[in-house]
Homo-oligomer: A and B are copies of this chain.
Amino acid sequence: MSSPASLPISRFPVPALADLPADIRERIVAVQEKSGFIPNVFLVLAHRPDEFRAFFAYHDALMDKPGNLTKAEREMIVVATSNANQCQYCVIAHGAILRIRAKNPLIADQVAINYRKADITPRQTAMLDFAMKVSFEANTVGDDDFAALAKHGFNDDDVWDIASIASFFALSNRMANVTRMRPNDEFYTLGR
């Protein structure tokens, strides 16, 4: 096996579960029970408990809330923008979640590499065009973008959702790259 458990998951210190504040430890244990393993992002970010709490509160507010975007669509935004940002952790971990949410073993790799050629709807392509614009030139976003999305049935609150997810992962991708956050081996095959 090429990536033994002994390979570091962060270039920063990783706290032991036992040393963490109770609320953080409980959240991590809950994830572990549900997933069968602890995604490394939880351990890496636990180095900073206050930032950890805010990060996951933000994440949940965007990714778990009700809304017109399906959960698979939200993951598409993560996967497409994260590959453009060359974020290994986010593409591999959220690629797994996308495969599961979409019940489609091919979709994550397609969306990561070039969403314009992926097996998705024109509406989803328009969503990703906008997400990429938010990631790379949000300064030029304007009325035309809202109009283009409206043609595909996205209302203003949907646009906020797309923008927020792309923006949150702009943050997340940068932290994963700086911390050298390592994806768990489990993610590579989940949902394939």
Query: Which A residues between 134 and 192 are near B, CB-CB below 8 angstroms?
Result: 134-135, 138-142, 146, 156-157, 159-160, 163-164, 166-168, 170-175, 177-180, 182, 185, 188-189, 192
- Contact code string A33-50 (vs B, CB < 8 Å = 1, else 0): 000000000000001101
Which residues of B have CB within 8 Å of A163?
Answer: 174-175, 178-179
Which residues of B have CB within 8 Å of A171?
Answer: 167-168, 170-171
Q: How large is the interface on A (under 10, 10 to 19, 20 to 34, 35 or more residues)?
A: 35 or more
- A20 on interface, CB distance cutoff 8 Å: no
- A77 on interface, CB distance cutoff 8 Å: no
- A124 on interface, CB distance cutoff 8 Å: no
B91 and A109 within 8 A (CB): yes
A114 and B92 within 8 A (CB): no
Which residues of B have CB within 8 Å of A166?
Answer: 174
Write the residues of chain A forming the contact surface with B, with a CB cutoff of 8 angstroms: 2-3, 7, 11-12, 47-48, 50-51, 53-55, 57-58, 60-62, 65, 83, 85-88, 91-92, 102, 104-107, 109-110, 112-114, 116-119, 134-135, 138-142, 146, 156-157, 159-160, 163-164, 166-168, 170-175, 177-180, 182, 185, 188-189, 192
B175 and A164 within 8 A (CB): yes
Question: How close is A131's CB to chain B, nearest CB, in angstroms?
Answer: 10
Q: Please name the residue on chain B nearest to A59 by beta carbon.
A: B54
CB within 8 Å for A138 and B185 given contacts A57-B54, A62-B51? no
